[in-house]
Homo-oligomer: A and B are copies of this chain.
Amino acid sequence: MNITEFAQYAGVSKAAVSRYFNGGYLSAEKRAQIEAAVEATGYRPSMQAQMLRTRRTRQVGVILPKLSSDSCPRMVEGIGSVLEESGYQLLLINTANDTKKELQALDTLRLHTVDGIILIAALYTPEHKTLLEHLHVPIVILGQNFPGCCSVYHDDAGAAQAATAHMLAKGRRAPGYIGVTLLDKCAGQQRRAGFEAALKAAGLPLHPERMAVAKFSQESGYEQAAKLLARNPHIDCLFCATDAIALGAMQYCREHGIRIPEDVMIASVGDSKVGRNAFVPLTSAHLHYKTAGRDAAALLMDLLADPHAVPRSQMLGFELMERESTGD
């Protein structure tokens, strides 16, 4: 049954049928007529046929490493709100922190299914480079700055520098550092660069033995803090690359009688709910995840409207939230 036959059956115009299925205005009477006809015939508009005509699916693929985190749900909410306003649907692909899966997802999506892609990536590998160069659909990278791609990311270096400088400004002189892998450009490289810049600005030397690398988890933060503080009992403040790592470090301090902020100040980046509510509220740089999601989606909508638009990289600012873990 096509739309003409269905309209005839329902006793309304084709335009009315179209309005019904696209959410436009209809009188209650016509709506009821069409509803009854749908019930009787099981008619569905052929979205597929429409897709064949327009070669568009009106879907955007969002590839992300882990949904149950502090940042991802907020970024996806931002993306979703813009897509909805623009009449696009959100196809979610969770790669469970598996780079191979991420590359696979890109490979699948680039061949069919979606009109555009938003990639919330952690690592940037040579395989990413190759795939991104051969994409047939527009893509926006969220949270990282990939060379040559449209991207929306945070001022990770500035945030880490501000958090560290805040502790140094309070007279601390033996800063420790627990970061993440340098394969992660933003949370790894950029936040470490920010930490180092703060030390340099304060005229402090860099002590590699006071620096450690953790995984993206509270457990790993706990372990690295244990090693670092045992090796360097003089550390009087600690910059952690993420709130989760900071929470692990705080837990270690709590269990070993190290007072926060008296003995060790702690600051990090992310401003998570967990950090705000921790036993010592955590000083942390707030990143605008939801706004970043909205901006990335808006950028993608621009690319869909004009595939030859100039690639743009956009960096968002931060706000240092000063709390008790730094004596505020």
Contacts and interface: CB of A to CB of B under 8 A. Distances in A.
Interface of A: 21, 23, 38-39, 42, 44-49, 51-52, 57, 59, 62, 66-69, 72-74, 76-77, 80-81, 89-94, 96, 104, 108, 111-113, 134, 136, 218, 247, 251, 273-274, 277-280
A309 to B, nearest CB: 20
Nearest to A101: B84
A76 B80 contact: no
B277 A23 contact: no
User: Could you say how many copies of this chain the assembly holds?
Assistant: 2
A51 B112 CA distance: 12
Nearest to A276: B274
Given A23-B108, A38-B111, A74-B68, A136 B80 contact: no
Contact of A89 (B45, B68, B113): B113
Listed residue (A38, A73, A108, A247) with the most chain B CB atoms within 10 angstroms of its CB: A73
Given A68-B73, A279-B277, A136 B42 contact: yes
A44 B80 contact: no
A136 B41 CA distance: 11
A259 to B, nearest CB: 14
Contacts of A46: 52
A69 B72 CA distance: 11
A111 B39 CA distance: 11
A45 B112 contact: yes
Contacts of A90: 91-93
Given A44-B112, A77-B94, 16 more contacts: A23-B108, A42-B136, A46-B52, A48-B48, A67-B73, A67-B74, A72-B73, A76-B94, A80-B92, A81-B96, A89-B91, A92-B92, A218-B277, A247-B277, A251-B277, A279-B279
Contacts of A57: 48
29 contacts: A23-B108, A38-B111, A42-B136, A44-B111, A44-B112, A45-B111, A45-B112, A46-B52, A47-B113, A48-B51, A52-B52, A67-B73, A67-B74, A67-B77, A67-B80, A68-B73, A68-B74, A73-B73, A76-B92, A76-B94, A77-B94, A80-B93, A81-B96, A90-B91, A92-B92, A218-B277, A274-B277, A277-B279, A279-B280
B52 A134 contact: no
Nearest to A248: B277
Nearest to A77: B67
A90 B91 CA distance: 6
Contacts of A92: 62, 76, 80, 90-92
Contacts of A113: 47, 89
Contacts of A278: 277-279
A40 to B, nearest CB: 12
Contact of A48 (B39, B44, B52): B52
A-B interface, 7 closest residue pairs, ranked by CB to CB distance from nearest:
A279-B279, A68-B73, A67-B73, A47-B112, A92-B92, A48-B51, A80-B94
